[in-house]
Amino acid sequence: MKKFDEDFWWGASSSAFQIEGAWEKDGKGESVADHNSFTRSAQQADTKVASDFYHHYEEDIKMMKELGLKTYRFSLSWARIIPDGDGEVNEKGIAFYNKVIDCLIDNEIIPFVTLYHFDLPYALAVKYNGWESRACVDAFRRYAQICYQAFGDRVKHWQVNNEQNLMIRVDERMNMYEVKLEDKERVRAQMDYHMFVAHAHATNDCHEMILGSKIGPAVSSTMTYPASNKPMDVWAAKMNDNFKTNYALEMYCFGQYPGYYQEFLDKAGIAPVVLPEDKAILAAAKPDFIALNYYRTLVASYLPVDDTHALGVREKDVDFDLYGYFQVEKNQNLSATEYGAQIDPMGLRLVLNEYYRQFRLPLIITENGLGTADVLTEDGKVHDQYRINYIRDHISACYDAIQDGVELFGYCPWSVMDLLSSHQGFKKRYGFVYINREDHDLKDLRRIPKDSFYWYQKVIQDHGLTD
């Protein structure tokens, strides 16, 4: 029996652009996520309807209550609240989220709110090239303050943004379509820095404006094994973790880039422009917890520079290789999902221990799940034992990490229901609840609990794994 404390936060997660739909209803503006989805409308579902949470939120929250959730981690759409990002406030957007928050509280579910999940208002991308401009920092700070003022009387737990450390690696997420190739890494570093400053402002303002508030970053976690016991491969694995996640956690927690990262920025000639006042702003911003999203581990070996690749040259996108540091390889010892994510529950135990050892802050998992195609049977059921197996093994790893001494206070799998996958539409499903639609056929959007829904319901009732 693997029992968790009775106050452990069993939850589930989603994001606004992937679940809400109603992309331009009641004054909502277009976001970068909307824009990107429309470029693929012919191939897959886009954000126009998604899971239609906007029109089904009461029904959906009742299902969350039936599931037994203690918390629901969801994001607000910046473009629903401020359609052009830095102009007039859309009161209908505020009203919608007030209704969602009140409904959650009425159903005894703690609202756990992310301010920004990949969906920058598109107008800011057009006006400023988004995060490249300091004006985007000011716009985000104002947006956060508006949210704190509107919802802070009821929402005490906040995340500033989702996976900045992953978002910054993906050109599409940053709307980096027209940046010259020779400028790309400099612009990327500047955007990243500006998001850190905005994160710091939002953290400081939250603590000042909301009595009893808790706020922290949500990172895409990275756990890398060395490809061999060669010292340079061991170093490469550590640097892969450092460059993809740890540098960001150090900035969030300590207010400055670690030496290895600042040295890289300087040597590569891409160090961002900073303002004198930033140092104090960053240093003052102390997170109350760290949220992590966990899906897989990686393997890395040393990648030396050569005649055609200088120090710091990147290849690939999300799991990029970096000359002078590391290249990512396949782990031959793990199975993988049909979309390539290698399944490794032990990696979750390891990364929880690593983050707690480094930062000594409470931890919560805000994403973890199995994305694959589900089949709705003729009698209206979804038998997803594969998802049950995946989540059971990762919950077991959470329990083991707690026994190791890690202060883990919650687990919020991805996702509460099927929602729009950015690159696979509704072919790739993660939810405990099946949404009866296909990419180009909305059908009836019926909500159908999967086998995993009833299994997770029992886990929550039992305060852990008893089978």
Catalytic residues: 367
Q: DSSP assignment, residue 343?
A: P
CB-CB contact of 365 with 289 (8 Å): no
* Per-residue tokens: 334: 């793990």
Which ranges of 133-277 would DSSP assign to H, the alpha helix?
A: 134-151, 164-167, 184-209, 231-241, 247-254, 259-268
- Helix (H) or strand (E) holding 269, with range, is none
Task: Give the span between the Cα atoms of 331 and 325, in whole angstroms.
Answer: 19
Alpha carbon distances (Å) from 225 to 151, 178, 296, 425:
42, 35, 11, 31
d(CA 235, CA 260): 12
At 376, the amino acid letter reads L
SS3 content of the chain, % helix, strand, coil (to 5): 40, 15, 40
Residue 4 CB neighbour total at 10 angstroms: 22
Q: In what helix (H) or strand (E) does residue 461 lie, and over which residues does it extend? A: helix 451-462
* Distance between start and end Cα atoms, the chain: 7
